[in-house]
Structure 1
Amino acid sequence: MPNCRIDSVAAAIAYMEAHLTEDLTLDQVAAAVHYSKYYLHRMFTNTVGMTVHDYLQRRRLTEAAKLLVFSGQSILDIALLAGYESQQAFTDVFTAMYKMPPNQYRENEKFYPLQLQFTFKGNYPMLKDEECAQWEVEFATEADIPCWMELVRLVVDGFPYLEEDSYVQTLRQRIRTRQALLLKDGETAAGVMLFSCDTGSIDFMGTHLLYRKKGVPRAFLDKVMGELLKGKEISITTYREGDRADTGHRREIQELGFAEAELLVEFGYPTQRFVLPREDIHDE
């Protein structure tokens, strides 16, 4: 049953969050939630799209980033709290994921999360459907902002350098101009999309972890290609190839039919633009 699986993953997450500064292993987490490590690994990865190890690493680096900006602790002490045996080992991984070394990140004084704690709220009625959900894409309203932001925090791994205050300002503007689309399952935002009528760009597209196999991105693309951006070149940006911070977003965009375009730097972060070829649009 979906709810049983969700409850089990939530229990594993709660245990990991309570022991983030400890030297946790998959065996320990599995024992704490009373599953074999093989079953937990498969269930966790299939549900949230990353392994227990990756979740732990990303959460620890996020908490380390927070300490770099908001505390006076030394980088060595922060490295040890994050589970690294040396400052150099911590620096290597932090730089690979955040695209700057810890000392530079501290000097910038701007915290943004690599991974926030996964939380699952709601009943998720569509998850009980064996068939693919028949989604009704809607324009978001001001009343949808709370559930929209819950989803944004859940899928923050796909969007480097997210600053909530500026994001909400942009969201409000896009809601007013009817350039914010939403898919809901009850009171839960299953998918969100910000797009630009002027440029044809998809500026933000996120799918709730539990709905990754329910055709959410395709429903959005059908809407914008068939009605809202008809005749325009549609583009989106994501991680560059080989970026260790990417949890699979680049692959998902390619599977939707987007083709590689130019390399970019956005908010100081290296990204790549992808374009949906015109022939793919006509084939839909």
Structure 2
Amino acid sequence: MDIPRLRIVLGNHAHVHPLKRGEVRSDLVDLDFIDYTPTNAAFKPMVREQAFDVCEMAIVTYLMAKAHRKPLVLLPAVMLGRFQHAYAIYNSERGTIGSGDLQGKRVGIRSFTTTTGAWIRGILTNDYGVDLDEIHWVTFEDPHVAEYRDMTERAAEGKSIIQMLLNGELDAVLGETSSDPRLKPLFSDPAAEAARWFVKHGVFPVNHLVVVTEKLARERPDIVREVYRLLKQSKAKAGQAAVPDPVPFGVEANRKSLELIIDYAAQQSLIPRRFTVDDLFDETTRELN
């Protein structure tokens, strides 16, 4: 029997290097790696056209895709996780802005539906009491899920988010970092505030996981399990253990983080209702640990 060959998009993460280099192999499936730079450019064709068999995907994009019944299934394999507090900046030349000073301000973000944006807005409103409805949001890209109705102001074609911040056209920006000395973190000590947030919530925020097409999951659950095994083996071979683990594998290892981002996405009307964590998986992937 011919071995199926899957089209797959994964970012250039340390824990997938062994798989991409062919150091982790399978007798059941071949993987045809498709290069997308940046990786998030692959999310839109995956959501809208199921352009690949397997694809890295931001968790909020997946939640929105599920809400609109896109034929995708989640694997509990994290490709990117990070604390979010460092990804909010302002221009110090125009005065000091703190986390509680955003109401009434113009805040830029690549797309309103980015996962980093959802995490930071959730932190701002739930931990710092910021009224998100009192912020004027300026965006630069369409959502990956076409059905979402984006009510934000769209920046003029060709405008740069960082340059707009430097020019004073924006008061702050989410989802970006910069080495420009004029641009300072919105949270005065991002590492310390992230550490306090972790103690409070016990969550390491997940950004990107992996999805497969519903067709593959329905027709070849054995292949789906094999893809997960390969990803997990690649992570083990990379040998980059950390505590807390920024890229946990398994439903239970990700449950608290997924519960919180579901809450944030629902609060921000990115999804029409709260899913349970188990809702995000199918019969096969729900058992993966």
Q: TM-score, normalised by structure 1?
A: 0.29
> Whose helix fraction is larger, Structure 1's or Structure 2's?
1
Identify the structure with bigger relative contact order (alpha carbons < 8 Å, sequence gap 6+).
2
Q: TM-score, normalised by structure 2?
A: 0.28
